[in-house]
Amino acid sequence: MPKYDASSAEVLLFSFKDGLLAKVAHDLKMRVDDFSIDVADDRSSVKATFQANRVSVLCAMKDGRDDYGTLSDGDKKKILGNISDDVLNSRRYPTV
């Protein structure tokens, strides 16, 4: 059974702005830093677990491209706090 983790693979998350806040928000590229993925030998199933408190904001995206200059470290920290607390609720659900 093939197995993957952060030493052998990369899991990227992308979020896209929409709605009322679209003009002030950013599309984001994020990475899960702690995960496990098991693929059945016959590839009929995949089991994946992700640690919700181990997500990193890599950069903003602009027109489908990485935009590393847009977000400061403080911006990334604030965004990650919002994602962790308000979206993933990682204290209550540490594993996805």
Which residues span the domain enclosing 25? 3-87
Residue 54 lies in a domain: yes
Domain count, the chain: 1
All residue ranges of the chain with pLDDT < 70 are 21-24
Can you give the pLDDT at residue 18? 78
Can you give the pLDDT at residue 48? 97
pTM of this structure:
0.84
Residue 63 lies in a domain: yes
Residue 92 lies in a domain: no
Residue 56 lies in a domain: yes
Residue 41 lies in a domain: yes
Can you give the pLDDT at residue 21? 66
Q: Report how far residue 10's alpha carbon sits from residue 19's, in angstroms, rounded to the nearest whole number.
A: 30
List, for residues 22-36, the tens digit of each pLDDT value.
666 789 999 999 999
Residue 95 lies in a domain: no
Can you give the pLDDT at residue 22? 67
Query: Cα separations (Å) of 95 from 39, 40, 48, 62, 89?
Result: 18, 21, 10, 30, 10
CB 32 within 8 A of CB 50: yes
